[in-house]
């Protein structure tokens, strides 16, 4: 089951390989505001299913305030942050590394 998003936080992002931890959520929110000038809502972290004998990776899921998306759309790319729709698109999502409920995060 997906985490309920606050009003105005529709666009979900995935930051592959990012570890925050429950005790540092407030620090993450502050970091995003200071570093990217964007308001975010921490949603969850998911350890991906391992592929080809490797270990799973910790991926961070968070939502961006609708009013901040235009400012964040390009800047996020340098950090490797992706829209959830791009991550889960059939052309990109070849192996089921996330729980099925993650598809509920798509905003379209």
Complete domains list, the chain, with CATH? 11-105 (3.30.70)
**25's tokens:** 């959520």
pLDDT along the chain (108 residues), means of 10: 92 97 97 97 94 81 97 95 96 91 86
- Look at the pTM and tell me if it is higher than 0.95: no
- pLDDT per position as a tens digit, 48-65: 987 666 788 999 999 999
**Cβ atoms of residues 105 and 42 within 8 Å:** no
The Cα 61–Cα 86 span in angstroms is 13
The closest alpha carbon to 46, from 25, 19, 7, 73, belongs to: 19
């Amino acid at each position: 089951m997906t985490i309920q998003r606050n009003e105005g936080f529709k666009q979900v992002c995935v930051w592959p390989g990012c570890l925050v931890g429950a005790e540092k959520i407030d620090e993450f929110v502050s970091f995003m505001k200071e570093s990217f000038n964007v308001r975010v809502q921490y949603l969850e972290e998911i350890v991906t299913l391992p592929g080809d004998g490797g270990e799973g990776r910790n991926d961070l899921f968070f939502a961006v305030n609708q009013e901040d998306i235009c400012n964040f759309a390009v800047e996020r790319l340098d950090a490797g942050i992706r829209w959830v729709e791009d991550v889960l698109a059939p052309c990109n999502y070849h192996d089921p590394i996330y729980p099925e409920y993650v598809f509920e995060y798509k905003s379209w």
